[in-house]
Amino acid sequence: MQRRALPAGHVLLIAIVALVVGSVLNADGLRKMAHTQPEGWRRDVGMAATAPLVGIADTLRLDRPRAWLKSALGRSEDDRIATTVALPPTSAATPAATAPAGGTGPVATTADGAGTTGPAAGDDPGAKPVFTPAQPMRVWIAGDSLAIVPGQAFLRLVAGTGAVEPIGEVEGRLATGLERPDRYDWFTRIQREMERQDPDAVVLTFGTNDFGGYMTGLPEDVDKTAFGTPTWMKEYRRRVGGVMYLITAEPGEQRLLVWIGVPIVNDEGRNEQYKVVNAIVRAEAERRPGRVAFVDTYRMFRSKAGGFVRQMRDGSGRLVDVRSPDGTHFEPAGGDRIAKVVLREIEKVYEVRSRAPQPDPPRSTP
Amino acid sequence: MLFPTVTFTVFFLLVLPLSWLLMQQPGRWRVFMVAASYVFYGWWDWRFCLLLGASTLANQVFAVAIHRARDPARRKALLALAVAANLGVLGFFKYYGFFVTSLQNALADVGVDVSRGVLDVTLPIGISFFTFQALSYVVDVYRGDFAPVRLSRFAVYLAFFPHLVAGPIVRAREFIPQLGRPRDPRKVDAGLAAFLIVGGLFKKVVIANFLADAIVDDVFGAPEQHSSLEVLVAVYAYAVQIYCDFSGYTDIAIGIALLLGFRFPQNFDAPYSAESLQDFWRRWHMNLYRWLRDYLYIPLGGSRGSRLLTYRNLMLTMLLGGLWHGAAWTFVVWGGVLGAGLAFERWLAERRERLGLPEPPSTWLRRNARRLVTFHVVCLAWIFFRADSFGTAGDILRRLVDAWGEPTGAVTLGVVLAILVGIGTQYLPARVPLTLMARFSHLPPVAQGALVGVALMLISTLGPEGVAPFIYFQF
């Protein structure tokens, strides 16, 4: 049987039918795609176009095949559009004044110029929880797409100790953050991960995508808000504090959170916004000394003149790419820099040993 | 615009009918198609259009000047100038930072400190592809294989959006004559186009993206955290990922071109069923292979000289082919591994001839053993292609041997299935897809559309969230 060629008009008909059928069968996915667009005409057009599709698909039950397949793949949440931010009511309260093992401390600046908040050096090491290959520190690394390279760098850095056990792989999700739970509901994800996995340490990064100003999941009494307004700042602070609470302040938790801040990028407009985001995160971290450490990658990756650079010198003096060509993400050498600071912060609170501690030798009796 | 996006879908739904409506007015059609292609290209960054436009004008001027010149020395000088200009521009955008940094570090190693900021140069998407296409036009004119055409036709050839940003590298003599022949709007090979587009999307979205997310990125990101089995499977997974990503893109490009009435040459032909590296290069990125053969290997002397010269030409071609892919020494090593393999194969064949040994019998066992060996040599090279540094490549190779018996959580049923599908489909007899395509094409158009719609739903549902860029966009 030979292939049959068709007139161009029939080809157009095939394309249109394919798009209509595909759109109806994928209505829920398209709806979510439209919902998660930045505020503007594209979103409005997308929402208007997908509304009837969702209605038709639901009425004719043509959305079921996609739902069944997603469920079979264990991804039934993919099309869910989170419209609220799930934070416990007590998360808004001021954190407890007492710090866990590791002590308290003011802001410390590390030797490489990165500003961090966390316990000051010189704490009594005897008070620190100890992790060894027999009892490794379980760490969960997650966040937006900027979590991936530093996260993998951290895992490479600690691989030789045997005393750090990652929970799953580094979970970096493109274009997500705390501003748009409809894109991805990190609040529910974090809560579930803490309940299921109970990690000893968490490394997070958010904020790179939290500058759009179009915040979703607002409380009922809050109307639409623009980036940087008092309303936006208050709500973002609530979310950041809420995440910190979920990880470190739930009753019975003894857990360290290292929050990697947003780095300087190759876009002055976004940098001004990132300064706002970083300031909020830093302030919330400072309210939780010994439990939350903030890694100031904005300062870490600035040039001497205060601007963006793609290359920096490594430990042996060689020029290496630390930022990717897109001017935002990290190259592996950049991830390595961050990983070292993250480990330093963890070691202020925990002791991570390659070998189990040896018992003291018996005292000789005279 | 990426192919699997709503934006491109809207764009193409506008371009397709207008293209066929204007087909009978070639002049207007060319203006329309150039404009549409520049809109497509400018969607990433409008400044890229300036570069594309400048390349079009400059290469047309070179081609016409070469064609008109009668003096061989002058023709050669013009060709040299054209090649230098094209490669100079490509070299600046693609390799400036790489060579300056390498030079600075090399000087620092011997105690010479040249602390100078490196200019941050944005790499225009697709520059490697359209530069090679432009060069093929100019060189073919110089060789007398092709006469220069009107600027508008050359502009369509260079900017034609289906192949603009990631190939296939279509040569002028393969495409431009099609512009002169009217495409028959009554005979569009929609069956083949639909298979290519849907198949390409499935390969890219479902297989390639899945494997990247599920195992490849994590293992190559932190090899020491994974067992030997995980690393081995990740290497296989990358072999399948890059095949599905790149061949998926070119399948979509070829399918889109078919819908517009144009035929592109095939770019992949079941490469992982190859029985030798030479066979592999006749099946993988076939257009790049032919370009390197015709415009680099043969002008260097090919296999016409001594044995040593032939090996030199092979190695040079493969090393430069590696460098074409990106500004990193790991790509050069990738080319070197494959070049060394090709040279070794050649040496073996010549030795057999010298000793008067007969060709070994082509048994089922021998053929599949050769396939297995060839596949693993290619996978070895892929390690360098994927790794971000020699350190990572070394970690991967080391980890392949020293961590057997450790946990293997990353090797899931889904990963294994995706690898088996990616490789297994290359062993399907050709009559299977041909029969399916033929039967599909005889269905009523509405039924064809419905089937394609269902396929789109499956692809969208099975693939990971988000639209990852195609790997070859970075080249």
DSSP assigned state of B430: T
Report the gap between the CA of B437 and the closest CA in chain A (Å): 7
Contact A15 B449 (CB under 8 A): yes
> What's the CA gap between B330 and B381, in Å, rounded?
9
Q: Does A156 touch chain B (CB under 8 A)?
A: yes
Q: List the single residue in A6, A46, A65 with the smallest CB-CB distance to B445.
A: A6
Encoding tokens for residue B62?
């070179």
Report the gap between the CA of B337 and the closest CA in chain A (Å): 24
> What's the CA gap between B94 and B182, in Å, rounded?
38
Q: B70, exposed or middle or buried, with CB in 10 Å at 0-12, 13-18, 19+?
A: exposed
Nearest to A298 by CA among A326, A259, A325, A332: A259
Encoding tokens for residue A40?
């503007």
Find the distance separating the first CA and the last CA of chain B, reported in whole Å.
16
Lowest-confidence pick of A24-33, A219-228, A352-361, B406-415: A352-361
pTM (2 d.p.) = 0.89
CA distances from B274 to A17, A222, B7, B374, B423 (A): 39, 63, 38, 7, 12
Given a cut of 90, whether residue A256 has pLDDT beyond it is: yes
> What is the value of ipTM here, to two decimals?
0.87
Report residue A319: phi and psi, to 5°: -75, 130
Contact B461 A13 (CB under 8 A): no
Encoding tokens for residue B246?
């790149």
Please, which residues 120-179 of chain B have a Cβ atom closer than 8 Å to chain A? 120, 122-123
For B440-457, the pLDDT digits (tens) are 999 999 999 999 999 999
Q: Does B467 touch chain A (CB under 8 A)?
A: no
At A253 the pLDDT is 63
Q: Does A155 touch chain B (CB under 8 A)?
A: yes
Give the chain B residue nearest A22 (alpha carbons).
B453
Contact A12 B442 (CB under 8 A): no
Q: Is the peptide bond before B168 cis (omega within 30 degrees of 0)?
A: yes
> What's the CA gap between A181 and A86, in Å, rounded?
10
Q: Does B450 touch chain A (CB under 8 A)?
A: yes
As a whole number, the mean pLDDT across chain A is: 86
CB count, 10 Å around CB of B397?
16
> What's the CA gap between B78 and B148, in Å, rounded?
14
Which residues in A lie closer than 8 A to residue B218 (C-beta atoms)?
Answer: 152, 169-170
Contact A159 B188 (CB under 8 A): no
DSSP helix/strand/coil, A294: strand
Encoding tokens for residue A310?
């793609």
User: Cα torsion at B341, B343, B348, B350 (round to 10°)?
Assistant: 160
Instruction: Check B67, B163, B325, B376 and give the catalytic one.
Output: B325
DSSP helix/strand/coil, B197: helix
Question: Residue A137: which H helix or E strand, with range?
Answer: strand A137-144
CA dihedral over A12, A15, A21, A27, signed as positive or negative: negative
For B14-59, the three-class secondary structure string (H helix, E strand, C coil) is: HHHHHHHHHCCCHHHHHHHHHHHHHHHHHCCCHHHHHHHHHHHHHH
At A110 the pLDDT is 39
Q: Does A218 touch chain B (CB under 8 A)?
A: no
Given a cut of 60, whether residue A134 has pLDDT beyond it is: yes
Nearest to A197 by CA among A134, A141, A146: A141
CB of B246 closer than 8 Å to CB of B252: no
Taking CB atoms within 8 Å and a gap of at least 24, the contacts of B395-403 are: B395/B223, B395/B224, B396/B219, B396/B220, B396/B223, B396/B231, B396/B235, B398/B223, B399/B223, B399/B224, B399/B226, B399/B228, B399/B231, B400/B228, B400/B231, B400/B232, B400/B235, B401/B228, B402/B228, B403/B226, B403/B227, B403/B228, B403/B231
Nearest to A299 by CA among A289, A291, A308: A308
Q: What is the mean pLDDT of residues A156-173?
A: 93
At A314 the pLDDT is 87
Give the chain A residue nearest B456 (alpha carbons).
A22
Contact B445 A13 (CB under 8 A): yes
CA distances from B190 to A5, B230, B260 (A): 6, 41, 10
Contact B222 A175 (CB under 8 A): no
Location of structure tokens 């857990």 = A255
Report residue A223: phi and psi, to 5°: -85, 180
Residue B226 annotated among the catalytic residues of the structure:
no
pLDDT band at residue A228, thresholds of 50, 70 and 90?
A: confident
> What's the CA gap between A360 and A358, in Å, rounded?
6
Given a cut of 50, whether residue A181 has pLDDT beyond it is: yes
Location of structure tokens 């090393």 = B319
Specify the amino acid at residue B401.
V
CB of B399 closer than 8 Å to CB of B223: yes
Q: List the single residue in A7, A311, A332 with the smallest CB-CB distance to B101.
A: A311
For B386-400, the pLDDT digits (tens) are 999 999 999 999 999
CB count, 10 Å around CB of A214?
16
Which residues in B lie closer than 8 A to residue A17 (C-beta atoms)?
Answer: 445-446, 448-450, 452-453
CA distances from A257 to A194, A201, A293 (A): 12, 6, 6
Nearest to A280 by CA among A245, A243, A308, A238: A238
Q: Does A29 touch chain B (CB under 8 A)?
A: yes
Given a cut of 80, whether residue A116 has pLDDT beyond it is: no
CA dihedral over A273, A32, A195, B411, signed as positive or negative: negative
> What's the CA gap between B199 and B455, in Å, rounded?
9
Contacts of B82 (CB under 8 A, 6+ apart): B59, B62, B63, B66, B135, B138
| Per-residue buried b or exposed e for A68-97, using 16+ beta carbons within 10 Å of the residue's own CB | ebbeeeeeeebbebbeebbbeeebeeebee
Q: Does A80 touch chain B (CB under 8 A)?
A: no
For B129-178, the three-class secondary structure string (H helix, E strand, C coil) is: HHHHHHHHHHHHHHHCCCCCCCHHHHHHHHHCHHHHCCCCCCCHHHHHHH
Contact B221 A166 (CB under 8 A): no
Which residues in A lie closer than 8 A to residue B118 (C-beta atoms)?
Answer: 310-311, 319
User: Cα torsion at A305, A310, A313, A315 (round to 10°)?
Assistant: 120
Nearest to A200 by CA among A255, A253, A136: A255
The pLDDT tens digits along chain B (475 residues) read: 878 788 899 999 999 999 999 988 999 999 999 999 999 999 988 988 999 999 999 999 999 999 999 999 999 999 999 999 999 999 888 888 778 888 888 887 787 776 555 566 778 888 989 999 999 999 999 999 989 999 999 999 999 999 998 889 999 989 999 998 878 889 999 999 999 999 999 999 999 999 999 999 999 999 999 999 999 999 999 999 999 999 999 999 999 999 999 999 999 999 999 999 999 999 999 999 999 999 999 998 898 988 889 999 999 999 988 988 888 899 999 999 999 999 999 999 989 988 998 888 889 999 999 999 999 999 999 999 999 999 999 999 999 998 898 777 899 999 999 999 999 999 998 889 899 999 999 999 999 999 999 999 999 999 887 666 666 666 6
pLDDT band at residue A317, thresholds of 50, 70 and 90?
A: confident
Report residue A320: phi and psi, to 5°: -135, 150
Q: Does A47 touch chain B (CB under 8 A)?
A: no
Which residues in A lie closer than 8 A to residue B120 (C-beta atoms)?
Answer: 266, 310
Location of structure tokens 């932190």 = B222
CB of A266 closer than 8 Å to CB of A353: no
Percentage above 70 pLDDT, chain A:
85
Helices B6-22 and B26-42 cross at an angle (nearest 10°) of 170
Encoding tokens for residue B342?
């090709």
A33, A78, A169: best to mutate for the B interface, most B CBs within 10 A: A169
Report the gap between the CA of A284 and the closest CA in chain B (Å): 31
Report the gap between the CA of B422 and the closest CA in chain A (Å): 19
CB of A231 closer than 8 Å to CB of A266: no
Give the chain A residue nearest B94 (alpha carbons).
A325
Encoding tokens for residue A73?
């793949």
Report the gap between the CA of A332 and the closest CA in chain B (Å): 8
pLDDT band at residue A109, thresholds of 50, 70 and 90?
A: very low
Nearest to B393 by CA among B234, B245, B210, B208: B234
Location of structure tokens 């019975």 = A252
Report the gap between the CA of A103 and the closest CA in chain B (Å): 31
For A84-105, the pLDDT digits (tens) are 898 877 555 555 544 444 433 3
Q: Does A88 touch chain B (CB under 8 A)?
A: no
